[in-house]
Chain A
Amino acid sequence: MDQTPINLLEIKDLKKTFSLTGGLFSRRLTLTALENINFNIRQGETLGIVGESGCGKSTLGRCILQLLAPDEGQVLWLGQDLTRLPAEEMRQRRADLQIIFQDPLASLNPRMTVGEIIADPLRTLRPELNKDERRARVLKTMEAVGLLPEMINRYPHEFSGGQAQRIGIARALITEPKLIVCDEPVSALDVSIQAQILNLLAELKDEFGLTLIFISHNLSVVRHVSDRILVLYLGRIVELATGDEIYEQPRHPYTRALLTAVPIPDPKLARQRNIDALKGEIPSPINPPSGCTFRTRCRFAKPFCAETRPPLETIEDGRLVACHRWREIEVPEEAVLGE
């Protein structure tokens, strides 16, 4: 048996709300973006976070990094609660926790050269380095992500989307972080470039012993890169399991529906498939359904699902699932093909 892995991060009872003001005379509304979020991230793993638009996946990434302040709950980094850390200490900690964004060009300052962009985090986080040391580190990082040294004085607009994403990755890597949150890092890229960046992230993870949080709406991509996958629906965890478990034995009806809806690049399998079409659309997070928030679209829902919220239960091997009926529902033999 493996040794019990160290939990790099423990997320406890995290909650995040946004208050919305409509017009001058309308009442204030509260949007609950995340609620009852509890899970751990193990050192050296890649944790995928999937869900559809508005499920709170990006908000969760930002709450972990303290780019957004959660309303309640704890984000424990090796036991230390980041939500209570004084600003200056958090700033120091940021060298360990970095982020890569979806739109590579929009996230790079157009007036800075590639070298300046990549070196930027060092100025605040490693002020002890002198100019030559900074430059040496920039060049080393550029090499690691597949950028040529002569690109150091160029500007972002001279680069394609894939190259720009490499610059974004280099900027995240330069502080030698332990954890990187990748927020839809390949969604804006062409297929062939997407694969290059996914491979690069996997190589960097091995080389530098990184822990990755990989946020995406694309379940195929997430399964490809992740050890474990967290499925969110309307701001709540519905399931957390290994990629294989999610693929072979999805327990939550929403995970099952997602799995049958993912396009498969295989015509014969695609034709055999019965898509578990969900009824309707995602309800508004301002006024979520009572009880289980998924019940309005769930074909297994019973009247009692409207009454109480299903707890996030730990089932075998540390899997988590939040469904009143998971024990009763049979999973089809090939979950990806539906039934």
Chain B
Amino acid sequence: MKEVLKVEDMSVTFELHQSEVHAVRDMNFSLAEGETLAVVGESGSGKSQAFLAIMGLLAKNGRAGGRAMMGDINLIGMPAGQLDKHRGKDIAMIFQDPMTSLNPTLKVRTQLAEVLVKHRDFDKQKATAAAIEMLERVGIPEPVKRANAYPHELSGGMRQRVMIAMALLCQPKILIADEPTTALDVTVQAQMLDLFKTLTEDFGTSLVLITHDLGVVAGVADRMMVMYGGRAVEKGTVDDLFYDPRHPYTLGLLHSTPHIAHRAARLDPIQGLPPSLEHLPKGCSFNPRCAFAFDRCLVERPPLTETGNGREKACFYEGPMAYGKVA
């Protein structure tokens, strides 16, 4: 499979008043054409910052290191002017709250057409026609009417579709979706996830789905990367990680998620709280919450290591993780 993005040794650091916070460290992954990669983690795991860095959208005090190679172009550290040639055209990103990404003072068609005028030298009329066609493709009923609306006149689901339409106008190779369905109702979420499947299948778009919801991951992703405390802790296919998790954190997340099909009397959550990035525990960042931690985990940080079949995990524990052990 053709590789469209290769991230190597990427890091993200934020300067605070007197200290530095490492939001992302040692990140390595690749993304294949037409593939959906889910990036899973809780607040502060670094999952969003990693991709904001790739898009050149870090806050002013943020700094990215390493490489994010799209072919032979490195997106990390690229000046904004040059990055603008690729953003929107080759790689696009959508966010949880479409209202903050859409301009409230411009009609939908104006915002959409602008993308094509800028990146693909369409004239305005042709761009508007293409925009309306795209609105229809992402399942917006009465696309001509909606194109003439302002963002506030649309419902949340409709706005998210407009965002997706905008992101797809230039047919980017890579679409990064950061919690794209979190603010939506379940029935609208289901429509949206279905749309994502169509996109990857019909357009060959590679999708990065950043989410905390394992239910969403199971429905659409091919592979997944679980993040904790700024680092990837487990990577593999969705089936491998759901049915045979090897990292105690992945296991804990799975057992924390209520499942409509099997109702358990009690969930078996991970104890304790996610760590603060400013004060990561010594050794493995997960050790204070891990039911399987032993001496070595307290002093040494487990590196992300291949365990066969394209799987990787960052954990020293090799024994069985029988369920119910996560006490």
A interface residue numbers (CB < 8 A to B): 52-53, 160, 162-163, 190-196, 198-199, 202, 217-221, 223-224, 243, 247, 257-271, 273, 275, 277-278, 280-282, 336
| A261 and B214 contacting across the interface, CB-CB below 8 Å | no
The chain A residue sitting closest to B238, CB to CB, is A267
| A263 and B185 contacting across the interface, CB-CB below 8 Å | no
| B215 and A263 contacting across the interface, CB-CB below 8 Å | yes
Residue from the list A196, A260, A264 in contact with B215, Cβ < 8 A? A264
Report which residue of A191, A202, A262 has the largest number of chain B beta carbons within 10 angstroms of its beta carbon: A191
| B43 and A263 contacting across the interface, CB-CB below 8 Å | no
Q: Any chain A CB within 8 A of the CB of B216? A: yes
Which residues of chain B in 151-189 are interfacial with respect to chain A, using CB atoms and an 8 Å cutoff?
155-158, 185-189
The chain A residue sitting closest to B183, CB to CB, is A53
Q: What would 6 A/B residue contacts be, using CB atoms closer than 8 Å?
A: A53-B185, A191-B214, A191-B257, A224-B258, A277-B187, A281-B158
Contact partners of B256 in chain A: CB under 8 A = 191-192, 194-195
| A271 and B190 alpha carbons, distance in the complex (Å) | 13
Contact partners of B191 in chain A: CB under 8 A = 277-278
| A264 and B266 contacting across the interface, CB-CB below 8 Å | no
**Distance of A208 from chain B, by nearest CB (Å):** 17
Residue from the list A220, A271, A282 in contact with B260, Cβ < 8 A? A220
Assuming A195-B267, A196-B269, A265-B254, is B190 touching A260 (CB within 8 A)?
yes
Dominant secondary structure of chain B at its interface with chain A: helix
| B263 and A278 contacting across the interface, CB-CB below 8 Å | no
Assuming A192-B42, A192-B270, A265-B242, is B260 touching A336 (CB within 8 A)?
yes
What 8 A-B pairs come out closest when comparing CB atoms? A263-B215, A195-B269, A195-B256, A261-B190, A52-B185, A224-B258, A190-B42, A195-B267
Q: Any chain A CB within 8 A of the CB of B212? A: yes
| B267 and A258 contacting across the interface, CB-CB below 8 Å | no
Q: Any chain A CB within 8 A of the CB of B120? A: no
Residue from the list A53, A223, A257, A277 in contact with B258, Cβ < 8 A? A223
| A199 and B267 contacting across the interface, CB-CB below 8 Å | yes
**Distance of B233 from chain A, by nearest CB (Å):** 14
| A190 and B215 contacting across the interface, CB-CB below 8 Å | no
**Distance of A314 from chain B, by nearest CB (Å):** 25
| A266 and B158 contacting across the interface, CB-CB below 8 Å | no
Q: Any chain A CB within 8 A of the CB of B303? A: no
| A262 and B260 contacting across the interface, CB-CB below 8 Å | yes
| B189 and A261 contacting across the interface, CB-CB below 8 Å | yes
Contact partners of B213 in chain A: CB under 8 A = 191, 263
| A221 and B215 alpha carbons, distance in the complex (Å) | 12
| B155 and A281 contacting across the interface, CB-CB below 8 Å | yes
The chain A residue sitting closest to B42, CB to CB, is A190
| B219 and A277 contacting across the interface, CB-CB below 8 Å | no
| A138 and B155 alpha carbons, distance in the complex (Å) | 44
Contact partners of A264 in chain B: CB under 8 A = 215, 218-219, 259-261
* B261-284 to A contact mask, C-beta < 8 Å, 1/0: 101101111110110000000000
**Distance of B178 from chain A, by nearest CB (Å):** 16
**Distance of B284 from chain A, by nearest CB (Å):** 16
* B246-257 to A contact mask, C-beta < 8 Å, 1/0: 000000111111
| A265 and B257 alpha carbons, distance in the complex (Å) | 8
**Distance of B12 from chain A, by nearest CB (Å):** 20
Q: Any chain A CB within 8 A of the CB of B20? A: no
Contact partners of A247 in chain B: CB under 8 A = 260-261, 263
Q: Any chain A CB within 8 A of the CB of B104? A: no
Residue from the list B141, B214, B252 in contact with A265, Cβ < 8 A? B214
**Distance of A50 from chain B, by nearest CB (Å):** 9
Q: Any chain A CB within 8 A of the CB of B300? A: no
| A275 and B239 alpha carbons, distance in the complex (Å) | 20
Contact partners of B123 in chain A: CB under 8 A = none
| A223 and B261 alpha carbons, distance in the complex (Å) | 9
11 more A-B contacts (CB under 8 A) besides A194-B256, A265-B259? Answer: A191-B256, A192-B256, A193-B269, A195-B256, A195-B268, A198-B258, A220-B257, A243-B263, A263-B219, A275-B194, A278-B191
